[in-house]
Amino acid sequence: MPPQVPSPLRRLLPLSQTLAPAPLLYLSRRLFSSVSAPRPPFTRAAGIRPLVCRGQASRHHLRRGNSTARKEPEGMASGGGGGGKDAGVAFNKMRAEGRDVRKDRSMELKNRRANPISTTSYVQILGTGMDTQDTAPSILLFFDKQRFIFNAGEGLQRFCTEHKIKLSKIDHIFFTRVCSETAGGLPGLVLTLAGMGDEGMSVNIWGPSDLDFLAGAMKSFIPNRAMLHTHSFGVEHSASSSQSTEATVTIDDEVVRISAMFVKPRYNNEARNSTDINSKPGDTAIVYSCELAEIKGKFDPGKAQALGLERGPKYRELQLGNSVKTVAGRMVHPSEVLDPPIPGPIVLLVDCPTQYHMHELFLLQSLSRFYEDSSCQTENAKKVNCIIHLGPSSVTNTVDYQNWMKSFGTTQHIMAGHENKNMEVPILKGSARISSRLNFVCPQLFPSSGFWPVEPANGIDLEKNKSTSFQACESVAAANLLKFRLRPYAQLGLDRASIPSLFSYEEIVDELISEIPEIKEVPEQISKFWQSSVDQKNALAPAGKHMLMVEEPWISKDSCLPDILDEQGNLAKFQDDSSLRESVWRKRPKGNSETPCCVENATREDMEITFLGTGSSQPSKYRNVSSIYINLFARGGMLLDCGEGTLGQLKRRFGVSGADEAVKNLRCIWISHIHADHHTGLARVLALRSKLLNGVPHKPLLVIGPKQLLRFLNAYSTLEDLDMQFLDCRQTLKPSVEELLGDNATESATTQLENTMFAPGSRMENYNKKPSSPKDTTALANLKEVLHESGLEILYSVPVVHCAQAFGVVLRAKEKVSSAGKAIPGWKVVYSGDTRPCPALVDASRDATVLIHEATFEDSMKDEAIARNHSTTKEAIAVGTSAGAYRIILTHFSQRYPKIPVFDEEDMHKTCIAFDLMSVNLADLPVLPKVLPHLKLLFKDEMVVEESDEVLEAVV
């Protein structure tokens, strides 16, 4: 059952969308000793108060057409831009100021009582990263009353949602390394757990001392209500050799004993430059041993009777392990009447990420008791039942590694690292299914089918090491959700029952046609009007009149878009009681829909927009969180926002090698605001780019974002080389950038800034109480160079109404000269970020070629949009219409719209709905609105879900 949540507004969006940044509260415990003391119960931290005292309330279901906002949110007085009827562009002022953070609270840690005679236990492969190779696979260690996860890379939440793995049941998270590859999904996971139920949930997080660096970095954006309980261990190992005679014991209870062994890379001077000899903290790898409690031998009544014991309480005492006396006074010990105990199963998790770690791994003395080689045997030698290898195939396929594996004898080895064959089956089956359907209907917009051919990745030679034999090691390749059962003992071994069935693109298309027979003709229809558009474009004479496509009747119908600012038909007043300029908000005539010159003369190598994430708040089954890739082809590319899973989406769209090329050729990453669903994929992309360009002359990547983002990046850079240069969004406002570029500088930057609605002192300024940092002249010079290399005339940020330091962005390409010698203005793309409708964005969107605007809610949920400072579908379209944008693309949809949002068809005459992995080429903009009716046919039977039930299933 979903949790009882007292406030319907609180259930509206998970925590990553609802809170402004605030300090992180966390507990840290260091473990040095190899002998673990009894684990004390976790109690509420002293001095930390609960969030608020709330009464019980019934669960409010969110239904289409019904608002769940029962009263005006706090801080939204009607006179201050609140929810009054006279204020058309109402917004939550407290949220915009960053003052909507509620009181601190202490989330109780789950303290489930362990069951020493667990009836069910297994380890399971969670296949995150297996297909796209962007993260390390996660491993689930399952007991009846306890759950452990090893590694939490990006996409873990989305994977668990897909396969209905309940994250709320997780007690502990362990990391084999602390880096973006293994821990990229941790921030989102912590936020999701913190937003569950009335008081939220927390989880114990374990890792080497490097974990403290990650916790420190997360302080910059994790809210104070998301308590992080970190347990770092082995500090002395991080500064010395990994050699140790004993492992560090982390968990030791009635069910399992988990120990950690350290492996640090050893670089040779010949292999690395002298400056690279000292490894980063995030390079330390951990080998975990999970030893289950042994099972006592079966009691033999015959032996007891032979020793002079009669049936009775003494039998029970012997079964409990206590010695008893016979009538004759002889002491009988349990070992005399019990069969030999059954050793508890043992599982090793080995992460050997590079060949530089292999030497230290092979010399680990704490592993010697698990070897079957007699020369390494000790009196405490134990048999390992299963070893899960997390290293990539480029390491585990080497002869040296294979020979080391043989040291464990007949142990079952599971190779869970990156293998090329894992790419054959997409891990996110639901996402691949919808991608395949969209690709069938319109391959022009959806070139990715969810499947791609196996290709050599990351320099791996498929023919290399072919002579290596896996048979001597009893090895199997990991499969998604493959289990190795540990209890009951009779079922010890591999269990493939949970592995999802294989499926192919052809099967998905056949299923679609059987469900919707009329869809079979749609691809041909789309191809015809697509080709018709191309033919019309080619037939246009240079001096001829623009020929417009004949649109569908429902598209040609007059729209009934209301004025954004006024629901009563009158020009509204804004917060400073000044009327907005009529030219800003005046609707453009419907007949003024001529195709812009930049589109008419576009080639397919000018610009393409790929949507890597179109959902809000947290990753879901069908939509990833916010990220947009601007492909400039030969001139590189840019990312606008970089939510969790951005790299994985790039690999799903372009393949492994194609995504690597895209990352290497990035010119700039622009982040709209500090909410986690817009930036937590950034570290993974930056770390991969640094790795790919290692040894190649290059410049640091320019990252433009709000000031708080720099604190995160600086703290995180202690773990991994990010190789970036930061520029504050406030230094990229239009006046500053124009002054930098030396164009249109006749009016002073100060005067221009004061004339905006966000001028200092105005009631609509972007609330930031601290003075801005001095301008980074090096970063500004880099921006100028980036614009030149990217073929852009300008890039500037626009303050918007969402939270403190929230921005939109404008990109405008340089003009070019046609074959006839005519100057053609460059295209203009505007991205809103998260925002309420605001005049500054309308001004910035004037005559935009494409406006990408968030549309989190349907039109009937305006109260919720105001409370969260988001926009409704109609409001987003009205912004683009008022600004005269040629095409409007809506994105950032609430999870209550898992596949297609609710919208009014009459509003969509020049609008398109964004889907994950959709690619919109500049040359295809004229036909973009015509595709929507055909896409609707795909989802004709889809309904709005109740508060993202699919996501709740995974976390409740």
Q: Angle 559-565-569 (CA atoms, 0-180°, nearest 5)?
A: 65
Give 517's DSSP letter. G
Residue showing tokens 């626009």? 798
- Using DSSP's 3-state secondary structure scheme, residue 35 falls into coil
* Mean of pLDDT values over 32-44: 34
Q: Does domain 597-742+762-925 have CATH number 3.50.50.60?
A: no
Every domain of the chain with CATH number 3.60.15.10 lies at 121-233+249-266+280-295+342-419+478-495, 597-742+762-925
pLDDT tier at 668, thresholds 50, 70, 90: very high
- Using DSSP's 3-state secondary structure scheme, residue 920 falls into strand
How far from chain centre, in Å, is Cα 454? 24
Q: Which stretches of 6-112 are assigned E, i.e. beta strand? A: 26-31
Q: Where are the alpha helices (DSSP H) in 118-246?
A: 156-163, 180-183, 186-194, 211-218, 235-238
Considering the entire predicted model, what is its pTM?
0.82
Q: Is the pLDDT of residue 393 over 70?
A: yes
Mind spelling out the 3-state secondary structure of 100-116?
Answer: CCCCCCCCCECCCCCCC
Q: Where are the alpha helices (DSSP H) in 382-443?
A: 393-396, 399-405, 429-441
Residue 754, pLDDT score:
40
Tens of pLDDT, residues 618-640 = 888 899 999 999 999 999 999 99
The rounded distance, in Å, linking the Cα atoms of 599 and 828 is 10
The rounded distance, in Å, linking the Cα atoms of 711 and 779 is 16
Residue 424, pLDDT score:
76
Hey, which residues does 130 pair with through a beta bridge?
none
Contact status, residue 478 vs residue 137, Cβ threshold 8 Å: yes
Tokens of 128: 């995150």
The rounded distance, in Å, linking the Cα atoms of 817 and 598 is 10
The region of weakest confidence among 40-49, 202-211, 683-692, 867-876 is 40-49
Q: What count of other Cβ atoms lies within 10 Å of the Cβ of residue 904?
A: 14
The rounded distance, in Å, linking the Cα atoms of 539 and 537 is 5
Tokens of 353: 């990420």
Compute the CA torsion angle 707, 711, 713, 714 (nearest 10 deg).
Answer: 130
Residue showing tokens 């799903």? 652
pLDDT tier at 172, thresholds 50, 70, 90: very high
Q: How would you classify residue 832: left for phi > 0, otherwise alpha for psi between -120 and 50, otherwise beta?
A: alpha
Mind spelling out the 3-state secondary structure of 224-239?
Answer: CCCCEEEEEECHHHHC
Residue 634, pLDDT score:
96
Tens of pLDDT, residues 887-912 = 999 999 998 887 888 777 766 788 99
Residue 228, pLDDT score:
76
Tens of pLDDT, residues 498-553 = 999 888 999 999 999 999 999 999 999 898 888 877 666 666 544 433 333 333 33
**CATH code reported for the domain at 121-233+249-266+280-295+342-419+478-495:** 3.60.15.10
Tokens of 155: 């996409």
Tokens of 809: 């962005």
Rounded-to-5 percentages of helix, strand, coil across the chain: 30, 20, 50
Give the contacts of 335 (CB within 8 A, at least 6 positions apart).
Answer: none
Residue 774, pLDDT score:
52
pLDDT tier at 115, thresholds 50, 70, 90: low
Tokens of 954: 């995974």
Tens of pLDDT, residues 62-93 = 333 344 343 444 433 333 333 333 345 788 98
As a whole-number percent, the residues of the chain with pLDDT over 90 amount to 46
Run of H or E including 138 = strand 138-143
Tens of pLDDT, residues 416-452 = 988 877 777 888 999 999 999 999 999 999 998 888 7
Who wins on pLDDT, 46 or 802?
Answer: 802
